[in-house]
């Protein structure tokens, strides 16, 4: 072998050796997403969106959450474990808008960009939040409720929690809209069922028993809404029920007339935008404080519309 050929071969081999770690490191951008739960179809749809983005953007993501949305401590443990793996960025949907702040400060100190999704935190640490405008969406639910009960009468609300941003905003969006725009409607009860359909069923039955003239009830997430439907059915009461989110049971309830309609978010879009925002943050791109992922009203009349069907999920 000539000296020139040997030098050329050596240079090529060295170039390949140098290129391999770079290619490998490009594959090692790891972005864990810690969600509020896993039990609802909503979170499975968010997960799908995140995985679609990971595929398109060639990054690695993991997606996990506690078994129920009442497990704040377990979610904090999951967040701590995710940070211990030294990710490049992090997606987080807070069950409690304050409890995670000490860990998020650690992420900030380690220069790990945090993207909040679905539910923000009471802090400016997240570089952005990919979410539905829950106040506006719940206000629309209030308008629909008012229209369906003739703008007068007693209504109640079953919410998933009073600690997460989504719980607070959906409760306040609905209640404040009723107070501001419909003086002849009274919100007689606001109860919290942890997003669990069984607990929410019992709560709904209790509200119905205490309020024999109740005209309507709003369930502020998938589990709450299903609980309200089941509670009304078990109590043999015909009331106007409005839900939030989608899932097979809610869609079936709307088709059967047990539920008047619901607000749907864009969960696949939330998951996708969360990962996309994390990658942009790593590149140093400027991000808006809120990424509004949109919402829609759906009922028996438009549930089959292609635009609506695209954001519904089983």
Rg of the chain in Å (alpha carbons): 23
- Residue 6: the pLDDT is 42
Task: Please tell me the number of Cα atoms within 13 Å of 299 on its side-chain side.
Answer: 14
Mean pLDDT of 59-69: 95
CA 303 → CA 74, 207, 256, 309, distances in Å?
A: 36, 29, 12, 6
Q: How far apart are CA 235 and CA 257, in angstroms?
A: 17
Which of 209, 204, 309 lies closest to 254 in space, CA to CA? 309
Strands 261-264 and 296-299: antiparallel
Q: Is the pLDDT of residue 7 over 50?
A: no
Task: Please tell me the number of Cα atoms within 13 Å of 69 on its side-chain side.
Answer: 34
Q: Is the pLDDT of residue 63 over 80?
A: yes
Per the structure block, which two tokens stand in for 82?
A: 């995710």
Domain 134-264: give its CATH architecture.
3-Layer(aba) Sandwich (3.40)
Helices (H) and strands (E) in the chain, counts: 11, 12
Domain 10-132+267-294, CATH among 3.40.50.2300, 3.40.50.300, 3.40.640.10, 3.40.1390.10 = 3.40.50.2300
Look over the chain and give the mean of its residue pLDDT values, rounded to a whole number. Answer: 92
Mean pLDDT of 187-203: 97
Contact at 8 Å (CB) between 118 and 97? no
- 21 band by pLDDT with thresholds 50, 70 and 90: very low
121-161: pLDDT as tens digits: 999 999 999 999 999 999 999 999 999 999 999 999 999 99
- Residue 27: the pLDDT is 53
Q: How far apart are CA 243 and CA 240, in angstroms?
A: 10
- Residue 206: the pLDDT is 98
pTM of the model: 0.85
| Contacts of 91 by beta carbon, 8 Å cutoff, 6+ apart | 31, 32, 33, 34, 50, 61, 114, 115, 116, 117, 274, 275, 278
Burial 50-68 (b: 16+ CB within 10 A, else e): bbebbeebebebbbbbbeb
Q: How many CB atoms lie within 10 A of CB 302?
A: 13
Tell how far CA 278 is from the center of its chain: 17
Q: How far apart are CA 88 and CA 131, in angstroms?
A: 22
CA 265 → CA 190, 224, 236, distances in Å?
A: 22, 15, 30
Q: Is the pLDDT of residue 22 over 70?
A: no
| Contacts of 49 by beta carbon, 8 Å cutoff, 6+ apart | 267, 268, 269, 270, 271, 272, 273, 274, 275
Question: In the chain, which residues fall in CATH 3.40.50.2300?
Answer: 10-132+267-294, 134-264
Q: Is 198 helix (H, G, I), strand (E, B) or coil?
A: helix
For 48, which DSSP code?
Answer: H
Q: Which of 26-35, 133-142, 229-238, 280-289 shows the lowest mean pLDDT across its residues? A: 26-35
The residue assigned the tokens 């509670």 is 231
């Amino acid at each position: 072998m000539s000296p020139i050929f040997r030098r050329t071969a050596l240079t090529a081999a060295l170039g390949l050796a140098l290129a391999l770690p770079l290619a490998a490191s490009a594959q090692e951008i790891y972005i864990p997403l810690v969600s509020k739960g896993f039990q609802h179809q909503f979170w499975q749809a968010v997960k799908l969106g995140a995985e679609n983005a990971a595929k398109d953007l060639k990054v690695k993501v993991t997606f996990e959450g506690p078994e129920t949305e009442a497990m704040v401590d377990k979610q904090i443990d999951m967040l701590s474990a995710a940070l211990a793996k030294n990710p490049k960025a992090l997606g987080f949907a807070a069950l409690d808008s304050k409890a995670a702040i000490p860990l998020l400060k650690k992420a900030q100190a380690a220069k790990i960009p945090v993207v909040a999704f679905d539910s923000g935190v009471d802090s400016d640490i997240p570089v952005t939040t990919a979410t539905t405008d829950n106040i506006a969406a719940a206000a629309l639910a209030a308008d629909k409720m008012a229209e369906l009960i003739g703008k007068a009468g007693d209504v109640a609300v079953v919410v998933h929690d009073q600690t997460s941003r989504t719980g607070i905003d959906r409760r306040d969006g609905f209640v404040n809209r009723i107070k501001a725009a419909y003086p002849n409607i009274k919100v007689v009860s606001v109860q919290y069922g942890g997003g669990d359909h069984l607990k929410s069923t019992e709560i709904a039955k209790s509200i119905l028993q205490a309020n024999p003239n109740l005209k309507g009830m709003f369930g502020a997430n998938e589990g709450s809404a299903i609980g309200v439907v089941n509670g009304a059915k078990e109590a043999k009461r015909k009331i106007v029920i409005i839900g939030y989110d989608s899932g097979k049971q809610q869609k079936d309830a709307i088709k059967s007339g047990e539920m008047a309609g619901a607000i749907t978010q864009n969960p696949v879009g939330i998951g996708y935008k969360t990962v996309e925002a994390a990658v942009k943050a790593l590149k140093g791109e400027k991000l808006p404080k809120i990424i509004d992922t949109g919402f829609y009203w759906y009922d028996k009349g438009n549930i089959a519309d292609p635009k609506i069907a695209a954001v519904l999920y089983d």
